[in-house]
Amino acid sequence: MEKVKFELEIPVHTSPNVLFDCLISPSGLSKWFADDVNIKNDKYTFFWDGDEETATLLKSKKGNEVRFRWEDDDDTPYFFEMAIQIDDLTKDIALVITDYAEEDEIEEAKLLWENNVAKLKSVIGG
């Protein structure tokens, strides 16, 4: 089934460096995104309740964004991206998430991201 692209923009009150560390490092990701994370080269293995998924790091701009592709999506254009957006005027920081889900699963996917980012905010105090 075809997946549909969606985007979320969630304000986060922290420094871009702290936020970026939580998006790219195994220790940062294991605080909010997965139970545990291992990296070998550009392959990230995420562990949740006995399950594991592997994603390839496609793109990383230090302090700005990371883009991954799940192993199951290797031969597709699908990816998930977490980018840090800083408002030029207010200097407010937002985490912009881009992901893909099947049309009937978009609301569930958004809710999952929102819950994970809420966990991230509690970890970093943002």
Could you give the CA distance from residue 44 to residue 109 in angstroms, rounded to a whole number?
Answer: 20
Residue 92 is predicted with a pLDDT of: 94
Closest CA to 57 of 65, 39, 45, 69: 69
Strands 65-70 and 3-11: unpaired
Residue 126 is predicted with a pLDDT of: 65
Could you give the CA distance from residue 44 to residue 77 in angstroms, rounded to a whole number?
Answer: 18
Tell me the fold of 3-124: Alpha-D-Glucose-1,6-Bisphosphate; Chain A, domain 4 (3.30.530)
Residues of the chain whose pLDDT is less than 50?
none
Residue 24 is predicted with a pLDDT of: 96
